[in-house]
């Protein structure tokens, strides 16, 4: 969709279009309300600004829509389609797939939520290394890293939706 078309949508349609970017309704509402945007860069800046204030509760809400790394997103909705595309490059060999499964489990036992990483453009081995590094984070550090990854995923999805 072009930026002009996005600017011209009704509020309801604009919010509905944005929702699959991240499962945080306030973000979609705020971004839709900020229209019209003069350029894609202005839209992305507003989107990142609206995501700066996310906290632990936002992260927990958003994770409901993100399958584990290495797991294929089921379902026909837009979020699942985004996840499948983002993880298309993961394609782990058996050994790495086993290590990702073990790493995801260790992460969930330590931090109590799914490990979240921007998967687009990254291989399974790269994400396994990131997972092992982040397992050593403190809970506070790890919440900040997870929120930054959530922002990256969200903005990448927005860029896919609104093409110049």
Question: Which residues in this chain contact ligand 2AL in the complex, by CB under 6 A?
Answer: 66-69, 83, 86-87, 114-120, 153
What number of CA atoms fall less than 13 Å from residue 66's CA on the CB side? 28
Distance CA 112, CA 63 (A): 11
Tell me whether residue 59 or residue 114 sits nearer to ligand 2AL (CB atom): 114
CB of residue 35 to ligand 2AL, shortest distance in Å: 26
Tell me whether residue 17 or residue 127 sits nearer to ligand 2AL (CB atom): 127
Integer CA distances (angstroms), 71 to 51, 57, 88, in order: 26, 24, 11
Tell me whether residue 3 or residue 134 sits nearer to ligand 2AL (CB atom): 134
CB of residue 115 to ligand 2AL, shortest distance in Å: 6
CB of residue 148 to ligand 2AL, shortest distance in Å: 12
Contacts of 97 (CB under 8 A, 6+ apart): 70, 124
Q: Name all contacts of 134-138 with Cβ < 8 Å and 24+ positions apart.
A: 134/107, 135/103, 135/106, 135/107, 135/110
Tell me whether residue 27 or residue 115 sits nearer to ligand 2AL (CB atom): 115
CB of residue 25 to ligand 2AL, shortest distance in Å: 19
């Amino acid at each position: 969709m072009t930026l002009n078309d996005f600017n011209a949508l009704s509020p309801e349609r604009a919010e509905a279009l944005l929702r699959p970017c991240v499962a945080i309704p306030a973000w979609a509402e705020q971004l839709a309300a900020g229209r019209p945007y003069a350029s894609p860069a202005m839209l992305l800046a507003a989107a990142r600004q609206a995501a700066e204030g996310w906290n632990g509760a936002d992260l927990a809400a958003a994770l409901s829509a993100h399958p584990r790394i290495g797991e294929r997103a089921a379902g026909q909705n837009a979020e699942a389609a985004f996840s499948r595309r983002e993880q298309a490059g993961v394609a782990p060999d058996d050994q790495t797939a086993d290590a990702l499964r073990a790493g995801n489990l260790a992460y969930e036992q330590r931090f109590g939520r799914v490990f979240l990483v921007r998967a687009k453009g990254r291989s399974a081995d790269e994400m396994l290394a990131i997972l092992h590094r982040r397992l050593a984070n403190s809970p506070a550090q790890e919440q900040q890293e997870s929120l930054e990854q959530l922002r990256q995923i969200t903005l990448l999805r927005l860029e896919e939706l609104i093409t110049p």
